[in-house]
Amino acid sequence: MDHITFHYDTVLSDVHMLLSKPRHLMTRLNHVGQPVFISNFKILSDVERLDSSGSGKRSAEQKSVSSREDCEKDSSPTQEKDGEEGNEEPCLDEDGDLDITRRRFRGEDGGRDLVCPIILKQSSPGLEHEVESPDDEDKCTKDIIKIEHTMATPLQDVGKQVWRGAFLLADFILSESDLFRGATVLELGAGTGFTSIVMATTAKTVYCTDVGEDLLSMCERNVSFNRRMTELTGGEVRVRLLDWLQHSLCTEADVDFSWTEEEVADVYDNTLFIIAADVIYDDELTSGLFRTLHGLCSNFNHTCTIFISIEKRMNFTLRHMDVCCEAYTYFRRCLSQLQDLDDGRCSFRVEQLPCDFAQFFIYERIEQLELWKVTATPRLSDEVCSNPELKPSPGLSREQLNTNP
């Protein structure tokens, strides 16, 4: 695992590449043979957040001042040296070209050194012992979130990584903790469960949903790793199966991560918030997401607020011969269609929120990160609300939500 081989269909989250002083510990192989790692993500305290924000500005100023000083220091000796040695002729070879002494290579065959970018290594026994010690376990209850994840996965397995959109949404949750306190929350496309775990530090019940037995098993392990953190505030995370391409919640007892009838009733009766972090990368799944949102909210008898974080990813396409973000463009189109929809069941109001709230995790909050708020207000009649046969609605049809990009 010293050298990672990237294929044409492999993607790697910037969180795992650019996190300062990361500790990626390979622990096992999952069911499809992918290496699984454990990373610790620290929730910054008030003092640390102030220091990090202040030091960022100070370091930039100091860096510019020091660079100017270095330039002055470097230029003055050079000028003196040029004045003293200005009459010296440069060293030339027999052809009259500059003779430059080149670095020697360590290759035995005389070729260039072998240079391989090392992204991660398998952990040493001492480091594993350090992470699994009781002291670290107690520390995890306070300010460390322990997450299992994979790295450099195909596109269909990107949910097994941690993405910047999850950090942005987690920052918003911790900044507005009073808003979610004691609430029932549903997360769609939870992936590793990072955002659900953060939400459970303030909410009462969090339904952490996704598809795929391997992904849901990993998510459940992460919930178990951090259970002591959520139990301190009385929160609970329940990992459940929810397929956006299906029209109902699976209640079959022989299916892993299926729903109980009580949980289905709890979702429809008590869910006040729905969250989704960085789930926009495929148009078909985006359509499924919006159909699921419409199907759920149309059967609520109360107002529900939806928060969606997204990172705009720019690509050069041959079709446009330009740099564009097709997944984001399609997402915005779906938002507009949802807001303009008038089916007599539910109305939606869409707004983009500023990302100027406090940052509780160490990551690069780039300008391409966005947070959207959708307020769903039901228009159900008493007959529809009281008739269980009308629940759940299949949501938007393909005609209502055009799936063509």
Q: Give burial (CB, 10 Å; 0-12/13-18/19+) of 326.
A: middle
DSSP β-bridge partners for residue 288: none
Backbone dihedral region of 96: left (phi > 0), alpha (psi from -120 to 50 degrees) or beta? left
- What tens-digit pLDDT sequence spans the chain (405 residues)? 444 555 556 777 877 665 544 455 678 888 778 888 899 999 998 888 766 555 444 444 444 444 445 545 555 544 444 445 455 667 777 777 777 776 655 555 555 554 444 443 333 343 333 334 444 444 445 789 999 999 878 888 899 999 999 999 999 999 999 999 999 999 999 999 999 999 999 999 999 999 999 999 999 999 999 999 988 889 999 999 999 988 789 999 999 999 999 999 999 999 999 999 999 999 999 999 999 999 999 999 999 999 999 999 877 666 666 667 889 999 999 999 999 998 888 999 999 999 999 999 999 999 999 999 999 998 754 444 444 444 444 445 545 555 443
Q: Is the dihedral of CA 315, 319, 322, 326 positive or negative?
A: negative
**In the structure encoding, which two tokens stand for residue 92, read together?**
């030339």
Answer whether 206's CB lies under 8 Å from 185's CB: yes
Query: What are the percentages of helix, strand and coil residues in the chain, rounded to 5?
Result: 40, 20, 45
- Could you tell me if 162 and 15 are in contact, meaning their C-beta atoms sit under 8 angstroms apart? yes
Q: Which pLDDT value is given to residue 5?
A: 54
Task: Give which of 355, 350, 274, 356 is closest to 311, Cα–Cα.
Answer: 355
**Cα 238 to the center of its chain, rounded Å:** 20
pLDDT, residue 93, reads: 75
Q: How many CB atoms lie within 10 A of CB 47?
A: 8
Please name the helix (run of DSSP H) or strand (run of DSSP E) that holds residue 87, with its range, or none. Answer: none
DSSP H helices in 125-226: 125-131, 134-140, 164-175, 177-180, 194-199, 213-225
Provide DSSP, 135-154.
HHHHHHTTTEEEEEE--SEE
Is pTM, for the whole model, over 0.85?
no
